[in-house]
């Protein structure tokens, strides 16, 4: 498939619940993101409470580059148009699958939402070649149009269902999925590194639910940072800045 226009991406996103953008990052952009990840792992993580081996959440809290990518990266306008909403950032996550880590079991992201309705969208970016042997992601096409139990992992979920799509990726490839789309990572048989970054957002049209937000670890759980959609005028040149409401 060639490069999809914004309208085609929106049609695919609305129909399937996810889109794949090959070579979303250029090789220098992959190198840059990886350098910030390496810096985070070597300089920041050692000073934080010990967390799971192959995953870090809320990286935006401790690292300006990741916070600014979350709040003002060039993907923001695309995500707003796919979701048809302003964005409320949730956090930056890194995932690898070293020995001892579980695969990502079938789930949908709205399960972790502290907003109602739990609409949301995530940008997932591969920094390595990730295929069937080292834990690539699969999606259930059109699962965002169905309703599943609010349980992680989804009980009795058939990962071989006819709508399952397995997506092998190269460094810089990206996927964007909605918060109701069921996805999981495939079983790892080859322990090659499998670095992936996730930039997660809720639809800002939803309301913060105070009981659930009290349990969230997101730095944005108060809901006071909104990335507003905007109308462009020919005289404007610079990208949108986040509004701290």
Ligand X SMILES: O=C(O)CCC(=O)C(=O)O
Least distance (Å) between residue 39 CB and ligand X: 21
**According to the binding rule CB under 6 A, does residue 186 interact with ligand X?**
no
- Phi and psi at residue 57, to the nearest 5°: -115, 165
What residues from 132 to 151 belong to the interface with ligand X (CB under 6 A)?
none
Residue of 60, 104, 113, 216 interacting with ligand X (CB under 6 A): 104
**Region of residue 90 (left: phi > 0; alpha: psi -120 to 50; beta: else):** alpha
- Phi and psi at residue 220, to the nearest 5°: -105, 10
d(CA 237, CA 221): 31
**According to the binding rule CB under 6 A, does residue 19 interact with ligand X?**
no
Least distance (Å) between residue 57 CB and ligand X: 11
Residue 235 Cα to chain centre, angstroms = 32
Lay out the site mask for ligand X across 195-234 (x = CB under 6 A, - = otherwise): -x-x------------------------------------
User: Which residue lies nearer to ligand X by CB, 178 or 231?
Assistant: 178
Residue of 66, 69, 114, 124 interacting with ligand X (CB under 6 A): 124
User: Which residue lies nearer to ligand X by CB, 92 or 208?
Assistant: 92
Residue of 60, 134, 143, 185 interacting with ligand X (CB under 6 A): 185
* Interface ranges with ligand X (CB under 6 A): 95, 104, 109, 122, 124, 183, 185, 196, 198
């Amino acid at each position: 498939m060639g490069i999809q226009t914004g309208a085609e991406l929106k049609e695919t996103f609305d129909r399937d619940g996810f889109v794949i953008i090959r070579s979303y990052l250029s090789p220098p952009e992959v190198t840059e993101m990886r350098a910030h990840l390496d810096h985070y792992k070597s300089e920041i993580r050692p000073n934080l409470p010990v967390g799971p081996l192959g995953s870090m959440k809320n990286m935006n809290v401790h690292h300006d580059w990741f916070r600014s990518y979350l709040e003002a990266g060039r993907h923001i306008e695309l995500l707003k148009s796919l979701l048809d909403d302003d964005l409320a950032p949730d956090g930056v996550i890194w995932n690898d699958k070293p020995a001892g880590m579980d695969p990502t079991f079938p789930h949908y992201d709205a399960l972790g939402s502290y907003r109602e309705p739990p609409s949301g969208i995530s940008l997932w970016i591969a920094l390595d070649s990730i295929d069937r042997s080292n834990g690539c992601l699969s999606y259930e096409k059109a699962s965002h149009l169905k309703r599943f139990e609010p349980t992680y992992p989804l009980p009795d979920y058939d990962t071989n269902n006819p709508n399952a799509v397995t997506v092998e990726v190269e460094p810089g490839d990206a996927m964007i999925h909605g918060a109701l789309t069921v996805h999981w990572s495939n079983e790892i048989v080859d322990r090659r590194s499998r670095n992936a970054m996730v930039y997660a957002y809720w639809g800002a049209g939803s309301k913060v639910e105070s009981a659930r937000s009290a349990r969230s670890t997101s730095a944005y759980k108060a809901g006071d940072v909104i990335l507003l959609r905007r109308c462009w005028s020919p005289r404007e040149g610079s990208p949108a800045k986040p509004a701290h409401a």
